Structure 1
Amino acid sequence: MTPHPQLPPGSISLAPEALNRLLPMHVLVDGKGIIAHAGPTVAKIHPGQGLIGRRFFDVFAPRRPRHTEDLEEICFLAGGKFTLRMCDAASTPLIATAVCPASGAGVLVNLSFGIAVVEAVARFRLAGSDFAATDLTLEMLYLVEANAAAMAESRMLNERLHGAKIEAEAEALSDMLTGLQNRRALDQMLSRMIARGMPFTLMHLDLDFFKQVNDTLGHAAGDLVLKEVARILLDETRDEDVVARVGGDEFVIIANGLTDYSRLRAIAGRLIRRLEEPVPYGDCAARISASIGMAVSTHYTAVDAATLMHDADVALYASKARGRACFSFHAPGMEEPEEAVSDVSLV
């Protein structure tokens, strides 16, 4: 190294243990540029590497200034401040300050991660004890941790709010007792399917003899029956169909893409037969049936939700008028229940 004037006398001599405590990221380099001592944090970020006896610039690559690797010269350039990078896979950046002790025993280099400290702490698993007690890095780390905790709490709050919103929306579109979709959800789905020009059949189903269940066995039995009805309707329909409870004992099914009369007859007949199966309630059995009215969207030149619901309702009351426990198809232009086309063979 090129000889330079030394710092004025009067400096304090420190034992290595004291130096390690004050400057845990220091490196002592002898006059030949060889590492003579390394602080505990420097050793920690070089696990399994023997630093003592290695050339300083083989461990730390210079960034600025690049024109010299003379540490004593660096001590007198820009106040002894320079930048390095570790010779590791991440090329971890470092800020360094070099001073030449008055004893003339080489150069003392103190290192810092600078703005890369957060990544370095995570990469090398550093703790507060790896930094000097007066190092502002500790304050920065505390701020980073506090910010991370606040962000995590904010994310959790947002997730809870989002979950509550989804739950509220689901409840707003669901029937609380049966879990089926409600009238609002039905209207939305019906409007969407009409807007997309999708073919479907609207099935309006009303329970027969349900009032007698409530009157003789009580509302708890009635609620049990409604839940069982919902289960059967879901069991007999497809995932792409819509099943909604639109009134006390009224249900609507949108059979998506299904307009074939033979298949619709089979479905309606099967629904009625299953709904007529007794529902056990204590020592008793609740017995109901169902009437169904159907309106097929492909029978209309211009499909309108209100008209379709009205026509399915007309067909439903035609089934009621014919003795219940049956299903009817509405034909376009037929407004009176007695003119509806009816099928009654459901044994």
Structure 2
Amino acid sequence: GGSNDKWRGYGKGTCQAEKTSVYKYPKFVKAGSDLAAAVDNYDYDNAAFELVELNFSGKKVIVRNGAPTDSISHTFEVDGETITITRDTSSAAPDTSELVNYANWFAYYRTRMLAAKTVTSLAFSDLTDKFRVGFHTLSNVPATDFLTVADFGGGAGNQRDKWHQKLFGVTVPMGNDTPLLDGVVRVGEWFKSSSGSHPELTGSTNPINLSCQKNFHMMFTDGYTNQPAKPTVTVGNVDGNAIPAKADDTMPVDILELKPGDPWPDRLKEGASAVDDSLSDYALHYWLKDLRPPSFDKGVAENNVPATEKDPAKWQHLNFAGLSLGTEGVLSSLNVS
């Protein structure tokens, strides 16, 4: 945080907060310059952004906080080979590929919001109408941002078209909270609802049509939760010391590796700073819960969800996946097992 926000560990927070008489437009400069007053989390070996201005009329390259130079060079490694690129005002025009690369970055990745929308769209691009997909924002404001699940069919006015309109139409006003817990609870309670709908999700319909279907909640966020209060639904320390007892609506099918009363395996075990009602508690809660217990219509209550080694639950449950920009987890991405 602070007057010049940055991604932790990536350069110095050298982002011009407001326009000045010299720089009328916000300017990003390279790590190591002195535009920012904040000195926390410096990492001079891991540069962030650098703005290079080519002044062709003056035959100068303006870089490093506005100091004119004759040229600028960048050295980097590709597959173990050291490569140096030098630019000056007498150089030939940039290659077309460079211009296209910059245009793509500017159009699709220059902000965290644009990057999140772009990678989300790409991640869902291969889905067909064999998948049922919906859309929901963390704050659920406005409520019209919500899109209930339906077959992901293409064509104007169909679910794929509606979904992309919702995704690319999202705006996030400055200063808002990041209510991850409210978001995961709202979706979890919707999937668990006996009516198949949720009072806060306008237009919500039954998300579970078949007893054998797998269900996923994928959350994209730019940081940790910082909502001021817990959700109205609390679950306690679900991933605490021991696996909970089996019940009709909680892990109703035996799993060899998960015996009630035993400690959770390492990949699910909580660290030393245990807390109640964390994001991991809620995620595990909706995985353990039988979303369609025996009290439901037998057509959707049969415990016949295809089990796998990484997801051994045969009951109707909700898998959770979180993707975040700018935060650092505790599990290694190199060893997902």
Instruction: Report the TM-score range of the alignment, normalised by the length of the smaller protein.
Output: under 0.3
Structure with more of its chain in helix, by fraction: 1
TM-score if structure 1 supplies the norm length? 0.21
Higher-Rg member (1/2): 1
